[in-house]
């Protein structure tokens, strides 16, 4: 089984989809943001505030090397900027969870923990900047993806079915 790497913009639902995929398959799941938080023993928000984005990206880079070398049969969910690592293609099959910017924001705001979800993501502090980042990244996400799943108005379960079907092909 090749690794599956979930990429996509902040808040698109990578974590929820990852949790659903492992319920219906034999993949083990890891999340690059969770790994970073446990390696650093602090929240991403604090890493950004205390050491800056460059420091964070460097940890992502180190994790990408480890994933390529040492991780197999795994569903890897990533932070929204992780796709920039140089070796992404070598890590596994890249699955993009795709949705329009407004739909992603609507979805985060509808969540019972919306305030927390917005607060923990430093790059969503300023909506204008976040939209700009989305517009820059979306073509890059599409270019890298082996599989694109439009997640708009779909449950994590529906997305999972689609992913597992497409990965098997």
Residue 118: how many CB atoms within 10 A of its CB? Answer: 18
Contact with ligand S3P (CB under 6 A) among 34, 40, 93, 122: 122
Q: In what order do the strands lie in the sheet with 4-7?
A: 28-31, 74-77, 4-7, 93-98, 147-150
Minimum distance of ligand S3P from residue 168's CB (angstroms): 26
In angstroms, give the least distance from the CB of 92 to ligand S3P: 18
Q: Are 2 and 92 in contact (CB under 8 A)?
A: yes
Site string for ligand S3P, 125-164 (x = CB under 6 A): ----------------------------------------
| Residue closest to ligand S3P when measured from CB atoms | 79
Terminal-residue alpha carbon distance, the chain: 13
CA–CA separation, 92 and 122 (whole Å):
28
Select 65 or 122, whichever has its Cβ closest to ligand S3P. Answer: 122
**Residue from 44, 75, 85, 94 in contact with ligand S3P (CB under 6 A):** 44
Work out whether 123 is an interface residue with ligand S3P (CB under 6 A). yes
């Amino acid at each position: 089984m090749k690794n599956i790497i979930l990429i996509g913009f902040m808040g698109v639902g990578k974590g929820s989809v990852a949790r659903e995929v492992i319920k219906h398959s034999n993949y083990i799941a890891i999340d690059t943001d969770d790994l970073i938080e446990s390696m650093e023993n602090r929240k991403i928000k604090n890493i950004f505030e205390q050491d800056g984005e460059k420091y964070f990206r460097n940890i992502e880079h180190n994790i990408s090397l480890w994933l390529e070398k040492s991780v197999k049969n795994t569903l890897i969910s990533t932070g929204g900027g992780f796709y920039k690592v140089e070796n992404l293609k070598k890590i596994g099959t890249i699955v993009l969870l795709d949705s329009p910017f407004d739909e992603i924001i609507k979805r985060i705001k509808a969540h019972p923990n919306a305030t927390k979800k917005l607060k923990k993501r430093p790059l969503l502090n300023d909506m204008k900047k976040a939209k700009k980042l989305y517009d820059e990244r979306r073509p890059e996400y599409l270019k890298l993806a082996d599989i694109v799943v439009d997640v708009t108005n779909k449950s994590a379960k529906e997305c999972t079915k689609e992913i597992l079907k497409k990965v098997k092909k």
